[in-house]
Amino acid sequence: MENKANQYIETNRALAVRSSHQPILHFTPSLGWMNDPNGLIFFKGEYHLFYQYHPYQTKWHQMYWGHAVSHDLITWQELPIALAPSEVYEDSTEGGCFSGTAIVHEGTLYLFYTAVAKNAAGQLVQKQCVAMSEDGRLFSKYENNPILQNDSLGKENPHFRDPKVWQKDHTFYMLVGVSQDNVGKLVLYRSENLLEWTLMGVAFEEPNAWMLECPDFYELDGKDVLTFSPVGIKGEYSSYLIGRLDYEKGRFQVESRGILDYGVDFYAPQTFLTPEGERYVIGWQNGWEWMYEWNGFGELTENSWCGAMSIPRKVIRKGDRLHALLPKEISQLKAAETVIYDTQTDGYQKSVSTIQKPTLIELSLEAGETPITLVFKDKRTGQTDTFTIEEHLLYHSEGNPLGRKDITLPLSSRSKTLKILLDLYAIEVFDEDEGTVLSVNSFFEGALARDFSFSCSEKGRLKQVVVTELNGKQLIKRSVKG
């Protein structure tokens, strides 16, 4: 099955030669549909990015695991498909190989994923499975899959998915998202050998969400961090908890809670641990139809692909908060020409640039009462995206049939530098003083040019705007040679 799909990709890749709608710095598959990042891991000298993938259509359908590798988290090489839905326990066209994680044990790479197929009664059910690889290229599924058939109540469950596996001392732990009586929970298991698992209990539950998807768990600067994507809480699509996992009771003791990204186009985040011990988070740079602010996946008909990953962001902990920062590699991509606008003029209003290449906009702010307005205008259609900076940053889209509904990013009086990374339709706004981020897609209608203008009537409030074009060399290698 992998072979058939890989052959199909090779043959059809020519048709897919870089669509002009394709972001440059953000990883996208060259063909087909992509959603969640899966199994992010550093193994044998490379970062491995797996992802939810369907090769044959640009919309969600039976799931495979796509695969790409990188040395710097910015430049990616596509590889052949890692997992295809080849077995009876994952063979439904509405199922396949769903999200999961990776772990290295004694030199072997283990991928944990959710297999989705219909049971005898014709109901789609979800079970946990594992595949192994010695070289990070070829993967074999474990012969005794599935390793977890029933949920924590001993029942087959249509919403029992997205295993996260890690090691603590000599024991392995697994968190799986589950929906029971319309409540989203994360169930904890324990194992000595990665293949046989014992139920410990419910580590966390969220009564306001009917399902918790794609958990991640890691230690950061002396605390435990648990992240997940809740289904059912308006405006909250990537939550984090800081606290302590009680490994005896199997319960996560929450000390604080926050949101990894305030936008609507950042979902199912997972992290890499670098060899130096740093954490980088990647989310799927899109959202699902059920999200309130969402309004489309883009111009699918013009593209042979759909879906992008966010820029990998460095995650650090500051007290009871997580901060997400632009990776330093971005500044190494700065092209020679940097335009600096001194805006210390009353009522400044200027159209400064046509954004056609990946661009970084850096704003230096002074505290003040007067709003600052940033406008991106599609040259052809006149559609506008406006960011208004007051107490909050408010995103508003006008005249775009695929535009998102209003989204807000909290700012504080400490907010002095805002950075906006633009890569075709993908917009990521970083408040590096607050550590908060807002991701939003602004799809173009056709013409790939927009004007950026800004205005503020209070002298000195907007100290400086730096617009830097980034080296948009082809950063994703499109050969699938393993």
Q: Which is nearer to ligand FRU, 22 or 38 (CB)?
A: 38
CB of 384 to ligand FRU, least distance (A): 30
Q: Which is nearer to ligand FRU, 131 or 326 (CB)?
A: 131
CB of 267 to ligand FRU, least distance (A): 6
Q: Which of 290, 457, 297, 443 is nearest to 373 (CA)?
A: 457
Q: Does 70 bind ligand FRU (CB under 6 A)?
A: no
* Cα 307–Cα 311–Cα 313 angle in degrees, nearest 5: 140
Q: Which is nearer to ligand FRU, 63 or 125 (CB)?
A: 63
CB of 114 to ligand FRU, least distance (A): 6
Burial 146-174 (b: 16+ CB within 10 A, else e): bbbbebbeeebbebbbbbbbbeeeeebbb
Distance of alpha carbon 268 from alpha carbon 290, whole angstroms: 14
Q: Is the dihedral of CA 92, 187, 217, 213 positive or negative?
A: positive
State which H helix or E strand residue 456 sits in.
Answer: strand 450-456
Distance of alpha carbon 392 from alpha carbon 383, whole angstroms: 23
Q: Does 161 bind ligand FRU (CB under 6 A)?
A: yes
Binders in 257-276 for ligand FRU, by CB under 6 A: 267-268
Q: Which is nearer to ligand FRU, 101 or 353 (CB)?
A: 101
Distance of alpha carbon 37 from alpha carbon 315, whole angstroms: 16
Give how far the C-alpha of residue 390 lies from the chain's centroid of Cα atoms, to the nearest Å.
Answer: 27
Q: Which of 424, 150, 442 is nearest to 286 (CA)?
A: 442
Q: Does 52 bind ligand FRU (CB under 6 A)?
A: yes
| Residue number of the CB atom closest to ligand FRU | 98
Q: Does 282 bind ligand FRU (CB under 6 A)?
A: no
CB of 96 to ligand FRU, least distance (A): 8
Give how far the C-alpha of residue 247 lies from the chain's centroid of Cα atoms, to the nearest Å.
Answer: 28
Q: Which is nearer to ligand FRU, 81 or 375 (CB)?
A: 81
**Structure token digits, residue 349:** 């209003």
Task: With H, G, I as helix, E, B as strand and everything else as coil, classify residue 222.
Answer: coil
From the number of C-beta atoms within 10 Å of its C-beta (0-12, 13-18, 19+), residue 365 rates as: buried
CB of 36 to ligand FRU, least distance (A): 5
Choose which of 22, 62, 99, 145 interacts with ligand FRU (CB under 6 A): 99
Site string for ligand FRU, 402-441 (x = CB under 6 A): ----------------------------------------
Site string for ligand FRU, 211-240 (x = CB under 6 A): --xx--------------------------
Residues that contact ligand FRU, how many (by CB under 6 A): 13
Choose which of 114, 295, 373, 400 interacts with ligand FRU (CB under 6 A): 114
Choose which of 98, 110, 228, 262 interacts with ligand FRU (CB under 6 A): 98
Q: Which of 237, 321, 324, 322 is nearest to 284 (CA)?
A: 237
Q: Which is nearer to ligand FRU, 161 or 377 (CB)?
A: 161
CB of 213 to ligand FRU, least distance (A): 4
Q: Does 63 bind ligand FRU (CB under 6 A)?
A: yes
Computed on alpha carbons and rounded to an integer, the radius of gyration of the chain in Å comes to: 22
- List beta partners, residue 456: 348
Assess whether 451 carries a catalytic annotation. Answer: no
* Active-site hit among 36, 151, 224, 378: 36
CB of 99 to ligand FRU, least distance (A): 4
Choose which of 162, 423, 434, 469 interacts with ligand FRU (CB under 6 A): 162
Task: With H, G, I as helix, E, B as strand and everything else as coil, classify residue 438.
Answer: strand
Question: Which residues does 406 contact at the CB level (< 8 Å), separation at least 6?
Answer: 293, 394, 395, 396
CB of 113 to ligand FRU, least distance (A): 8
Q: Does 35 bind ligand FRU (CB under 6 A)?
A: yes
Q: Which is nearer to ligand FRU, 65 or 272 (CB)?
A: 65
Q: Which is nearer to ligand FRU, 9 or 214 (CB)?
A: 214
Distance of alpha carbon 173 from alpha carbon 245, whole angstroms: 11
Contact between 55 and 42 (Cβ < 8 Å): no
Which amino acid is present at 42? F
* Residues labelled catalytic: 36
- Give the interface with ligand FRU as residue ranges (CB under 6 A): 35-36, 52, 63, 98-99, 114, 161-162, 213-214, 267-268
